[in-house]
Amino acid sequence: MPIATINPATGETVKTFAPATSGEIDSAIAHAYQRFADYRRTSFAQRAQWAHATAALLEAEAEQTAAMITLEMGKTLTSAKAEVLKCAKGFRYYADHAEALLADEPADAAAVGAAKAYARYQPLGVVLAVMPWNFPLWQAVRFAAPALMAGNVGLLKHASNVPQCALYLADVITRGGFPPDCFTALLVPSTAVEDILRDRRVAAATLTGSEPAGRSVAAIAGDEVKPTVLELGGSDPFIVMPSADLEAAVNTAVTARVQNNGQSCIAAKRFIAHRDIYDEFVDKFVEKMAALRVGDPTDPDTDVGPLATEQGRAEVEHLVDQAAAAGAVIRCGGKRLDRPGWFYPPTVITDISPDMPIFCEEVFGPVAAVYRASDIDEAIEIANATSFGLGSNAWTTDTAEQQRFIDEIEAGQVFINGMTVSYPELPFGGVKRSGYGRELSAHGIRAFCNVKTVWMGRD
């Protein structure tokens, strides 16, 4: 894939970038490694000051930055601006909480025959972050903010279609005051990842992206015995039971599916409605999905912009066409828009059978698959009938049902009467083939720390 800004709303190549040479990559790793030696000794107070300054710059520059995001990957300007502000919030959260989250953890000294015993969290060093284009700032910030606050330094290999976002993030972090080489954007293709990860100066890696990319990076890291966090795909269920507020459930279902033009790992992708409300849910859902305005992402009236890449749209189209040919029913959408750019309309599909690829594969576009469940057992069974386990959503006011969903859905997170969202305060991650490890919260900042046991005898 070329490293380039290609406007998804027009298909026009706006700017291309030369990939870093092997000498430039080596120099970036060397500089990051040297920087870690002194950066790790900076105080939490000093890092917090830089993180707050970075947040302030993100806030001040939100309009221009949002325009850059929209240009590179096609989300609406409104969502792009919200993303930039969320990044500022992420920096501020870790600026304010890192020291407490990484405070020494006292242990029972007497039980281990010590005068004093505790666990200390220490940074690991240079961490490689391989990131996707769908939230081009937020995905990288939710690694960068905790990692930097913990005293690590970062090397960012961003997706090839968002080079300007990558360069901006490294620049804003440096302008915020973090010392040079604390956070470097390397414009490289995915084929360069293996050598970087195998470099002895690189201590660990995090990857957010597809399952094949995660598998490849995990295999290399495993071979090198380096820790990884993997945030991979999802095919999140959205269950609606008869007791739910149907109007609210339908409105949230629409947002949960089409957020980010349908390209979010935690978008609800499979809708499971109880048979008693199935017909009503489908009718209302189809009506609202079909009414969404698809078009220019810079127009404030647009609800859904283009998909980010031509290949991404082709994959969505293929899954839908295959399902329709095998007997699934397209309730709305289902045909690409006849205009330049990579537009695909909000689509609702019913009557899907398990032998159709759309049943088990992640659909990374505004396409909703709706299933009918005869009872809660079947709803949970369908929810878990996937190799993914990232987010999940269940709508019911019955407390016994709520507890069953919380206990039995196989996912990294369950949202009751709401939709899955990432917050700095809550752990984020998946189970099964959605990956392992956690970002955000205390878990996220500790992911790239050495939990060092300290045992002190009597003097």
- Name the residues annotated as catalytic: 231, 265
Question: Which burial class, exposed, middle or buried, applies to 83 when counting CB atoms under 10 A from its CB (0-12, 13-18, 19+)?
Answer: buried
Q: Are strands 367-373 and 268-274 parallel, antiparallel or unpaired?
A: parallel
Write down the least CB distance from residue 180 to ligand NAP, Å.
Answer: 23
DSSP track, 28-85: HHHHHHHHHHHHTTS-HHHHHHHHHHHHHHHHHTHHHHHHHHHHHH---HHHHHHHHH
**Piece of 50-58, 86-94, 208-216, 269-277 that binds ligand NAP (CB under 6 A):** 208-216
Q: Measured between alpha carbons, how far is 144 from 208 in angstroms, rounded to an integer?
A: 13
**Piece of 30-38, 84-92, 205-213, 402-410 that binds ligand NAP (CB under 6 A):** 205-213
Residue among 302 and 434 whose Cβ is closer to ligand NAP: 434
Using CB under 6 A as the binding rule, the residues of this chain from 298 to 357 that contact ligand NAP are none
Does 390 engage in binding with ligand NAP (CB under 6 A)?
Answer: yes
Euclidean distance between the first and the last CA atom of the chain, given in angstroms as a whole number: 61
Q: Which amino acid is at 453?
A: T
Overall residue count recorded for the chain in this entry: 459
**Piece of 79-87, 147-155, 213-221, 330-338 that binds ligand NAP (CB under 6 A):** 213-221
- Tell me the per-residue interface mask from 400 to 439 with ligand NAP, x by CB under 6 A, - otherwise: ------------------------------x---xx----
Write down the least CB distance from residue 330 to ligand NAP, Å.
Answer: 23
Using CB under 6 A as the binding rule, the residues of this chain from 348 to 387 that contact ligand NAP are 362, 364
Does 1 engage in binding with ligand NAP (CB under 6 A)?
Answer: yes
Q: Are strands 228-231 and 202-208 parallel, antiparallel or unpaired?
A: parallel
386 closest CA partner among 412, 410, 363:
410
Give the largest Cα separation in the chain, rounded.
Answer: 79
Map residue 347 onto helix, strand or coil: strand
Number of H helices, E strands in the chain: 15, 20
Q: State which of residues 231, 296, 317, 401 lies at the interface with ligand NAP (CB under 6 A).
A: 231
Q: Are strands 347-350 and 329-332 parallel, antiparallel or unpaired?
A: antiparallel
Q: Measured between alpha carbons, how far is 1 from 4 in angstroms, rounded to an integer?
A: 9
Residue among 210 and 384 whose Cβ is closer to ligand NAP: 210
Residue among 210 and 322 whose Cβ is closer to ligand NAP: 210
**Piece of 187-195, 394-402, 413-421, 443-451 that binds ligand NAP (CB under 6 A):** 187-195
Does 132 engage in binding with ligand NAP (CB under 6 A)?
Answer: yes
Cα 266 versus chain centre, distance: 7
- Tell me the per-residue interface mask from 257 to 276 with ligand NAP, x by CB under 6 A, - otherwise: --------x-----------
Residue among 39 and 143 whose Cβ is closer to ligand NAP: 143
Place of tokens 């991650």: 429
Residue among 416 and 431 whose Cβ is closer to ligand NAP: 431
Contact (CB, 8 A) for 50 and 178: yes
Does 189 engage in binding with ligand NAP (CB under 6 A)?
Answer: yes
Q: Measured between alpha carbons, how far is 318 from 316 in angstroms, rounded to an integer?
A: 5
Contact (CB, 8 A) for 137 and 165: yes
In the β-sheet with 202-208, what is the strand arrangement from edge to edge?
A: 183-185, 153-157, 126-130, 202-208, 228-231, 435-436
Residue among 180 and 212 whose Cβ is closer to ligand NAP: 212
**Piece of 47-55, 144-152, 177-185, 228-236 that binds ligand NAP (CB under 6 A):** 228-236
Other beta carbons within 10 angstroms of residue 258's beta carbon come to: 24
Q: Give the nearest residue (CB) to ligand NAP.
A: 209
Q: State which of residues 159, 249, 323, 379 lies at the interface with ligand NAP (CB under 6 A).
A: 159
Using CB under 6 A as the binding rule, the residues of this chain from 90 to 109 that contact ligand NAP are none
List phi, psi (to 5°) of 294.
-105, 135
Q: State which of residues 32, 98, 217, 258 lies at the interface with ligand NAP (CB under 6 A).
A: 217
Q: State which of residues 68, 126, 130, 249 lies at the interface with ligand NAP (CB under 6 A).
A: 130
E strands present in 135-191 = 153-157, 183-185
Residue among 235 and 347 whose Cβ is closer to ligand NAP: 235
Q: State which of residues 5, 152, 160, 393 lies at the interface with ligand NAP (CB under 6 A).
A: 160
User: Which two three-digit tokens encode residue 87?
Assistant: 């990044």
**Piece of 40-48, 170-178, 211-219, 280-288 that binds ligand NAP (CB under 6 A):** 211-219
Residue among 235 and 350 whose Cβ is closer to ligand NAP: 235
Q: Applying CB under 6 A, which residues contact ligand NAP?
A: 1, 130-134, 139, 157-160, 189-190, 193, 208-210, 213, 216-217, 231-234, 265, 362, 364, 390, 430, 434-435
